[in-house]
Amino acid sequence: MRDDLIYLDYAATTPLDPQVAELMSAMLKNDTSFANSSAVHIAGRRASVIVEQAAAQLARLLNCAPAELIWTSGATESNNLAITGAARYRTHRGKHLITMPTEHKAVADVFRALETQGFDVTWLSPDESGSLDLQDLDAAFRDDTTLVSIMYVNNETGVLQDIAAIGERCRNRDVLFHVDAAQGVGKLPFDLASLPVDLASMTAHKVYGPTGIGALYIADRPRCHVEPLYYGGGQQHGVRPGTLPVTLIAAFGLAAEIATSSMATDFEHVQALRERLWAGLQPIAGVVRNGDAENSYPGILNVSIDDIEGESLLLALEPLCVATGSACNSQNQEPSYVLRALGRDDALAQSAVRVSFGRMSTESEIDFAVERYRESVERLRAIAPGRAASAT
């Protein structure tokens, strides 16, 4: 990492794996992979082989068939295509949908848009740790329910949902189950041959691949289908038409192949780093851990602190690159809607800092983060107007 910053915002995006960067560089400089993979000439056929190989690599990571994967521009498009496409396709059955208010905005905002189009959405509140109560889900099902969307790993807190149990309940009622798996794919096991999941969104840049390329899993089973969001040349079975970005797809494939072999080692690495980080932050007065300490992905730690303003803390922490919440909502200074849904008051939600790390993170970076956080809190408390007044 560059000497002038320490990057601990892996939940927003991950650095390129060096092998992935090398592959992309070679393809962009010396290859004929710029060709349209739909073309029938030799260059097009070579590009098509590259796309097929990448689909096979990603399919091995997910334990699914390559034909069940649709390439997209990223998880945001995948979420939009899955939710809107499935909801529209199944209007003959009903227009009732189920999700949670703690979903990523690329999911939550899709449901809000569908509400304006005549769909009825049930928003299931999490418990104080961020988990879905399965009894609440059971009570929410109706005869006209067509789709449930619950994320695998929460992007702000790392909390894991019981995807297997949720999917089984959906399967028993012939309700499609969509999972935003962007934060989990390549980091945690996600076996689509055994999980009762119908639709799953993912993106390369959360797993050491490039931005601009993602995928949507559509299970090859009866009544599991989505309507396209737009139309064109009929590529990818007409579900998501357009000329494929071959270099990006190849990079995603390689990132998936690397993740398949390094997942267990990566998990142990981030688990050790989170324990080290929390051991350093926990003794600081007023620190509160957000989310479930046990049932969560260890590459994310979210903490709030009493009597500290979040934006000031974020600036004081530089050169640490951390987040106050979802990167997609970072321009909005409102307190985290995820943490408010967990019952945090506005002050604690607004002071939250998400530290996320991964394959390239080091113990020395974690130690620096602990010291910088402690120093920043002490400095901001020392100059806080209320504390200055009480001290005189």
Does 64 qualify as catalytic in the annotation? Answer: no
**Contact of 356 with 11, CB cutoff 8 Å:** yes
Spatial strand order of the sheet with 199-203 comes to 69-72, 214-218, 199-203, 176-180, 145-149, 96-99, 120-123
What is the spatial distance between Cα 204 and Cα 78, in angstroms, rounded to a whole number? Answer: 12
Say how many C-beta atoms besides its own lie within 10 A of residue 115's C-beta. Answer: 13
Asked whether the CA dihedral 324, 327, 331, 335 is positive or negative, the reply is negative
Cβ atoms 211, 21 nearer than 8 A:
no
| Start-to-end C-alpha separation, the chain | 44
3-state secondary structure of 80: helix
For residue 366, the surrounding DSSP H or E stretch is helix 363-383
Tell me the catalytic residues: 328
